[in-house]
């Protein structure tokens, strides 16, 4: 498997994000040809990345990212699927071009050597929720 030209894939995905509420989008002949030439695209991610990716007992996936990619697939005709595993192993697969990229990932300077990055497609805020009775046990985020 080869690493896909990230700039072209990025443009297709951005185009799809722009029209997520639409029933369909108009693709250029070049975009349609690219999709035909790349019938299967695989992104890797951590199997325990809830609520982004939620593995089901039957092997299917639920969560924010699978739903978003399903919509992109429907709008564009792409066939992007997610492969889950241990995050560090997914990174190694992407580095060796055994998968096409990483889903639910973020920019990290060391990855610039082997990966291209899109603009941020959505933002998430992370919070820590604890019971009031447990608050006194936390003196910092590291304990």
Inter-residue contact 68 to 107 (CB < 8 Å): no
Dihedrals φ, ψ of 106, to 5°?
-140, 165
Nearest CA-CA partner of 65 in 17, 113, 6: 17
CA-nearest of 46, 45, 42 to 2 is 42
The predicted pLDDT at position 143 comes to 52
pLDDT value of position 139: 65
Query: In what order do the strands lie in the sheet containing 80-85?
Result: 80-85, 41-46, 101-102
CB atoms within 10 A of CB 13: 20
Q: What is the pLDDT along the chain (143 residues), one digit of tens a residue?
A: 444 554 445 555 555 555 456 677 899 999 999 999 999 999 999 998 888 999 999 999 999 999 999 999 999 999 999 999 999 999 999 999 999 999 988 888 988 888 888 777 767 777 667 777 776 666 666 65
- Those residues whose C-beta lies under 8 Å from the C-beta of residue 114, and which sit 6 or more positions away, are 94, 95
Nearest 5°: the CA angle 127, 59, 64 is 30
Which of 29, 17, 34, 15 lies closest to 79, judged by CA? 34
Rounded Cα distance between 98 and 76, Å, is: 23
């Amino acid at each position: 498997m080869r690493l896909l030209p990230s700039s072209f894939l990025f443009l297709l995905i951005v185009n799809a994000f722009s029209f997520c509420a639409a029933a369909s989008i108009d693709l250029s002949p070049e975009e349609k040809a690219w999709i035909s030439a790349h019938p299967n695209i695989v992104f890797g991610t951590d199997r325990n990345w809830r609520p982004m990716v939620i593995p089901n007992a039957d092997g299917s996936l639920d969560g924010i990212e699978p739903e978003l990619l399903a919509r992109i697939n429907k709008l564009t005709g792409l066939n992007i699927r997610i492969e889950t595993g241990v995050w560090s192993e997914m990174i190694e697969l992407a580095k060796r071009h055994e998968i096409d990229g990483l889903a639910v990932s973020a920019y990290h300077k060391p990855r610039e050597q082997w990966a291209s990055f899109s603009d941020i497609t959505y933002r998430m805020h992370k919070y820590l929720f604890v019971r009031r009775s447990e608050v006194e046990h936390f003196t910092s985020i590291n304990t």
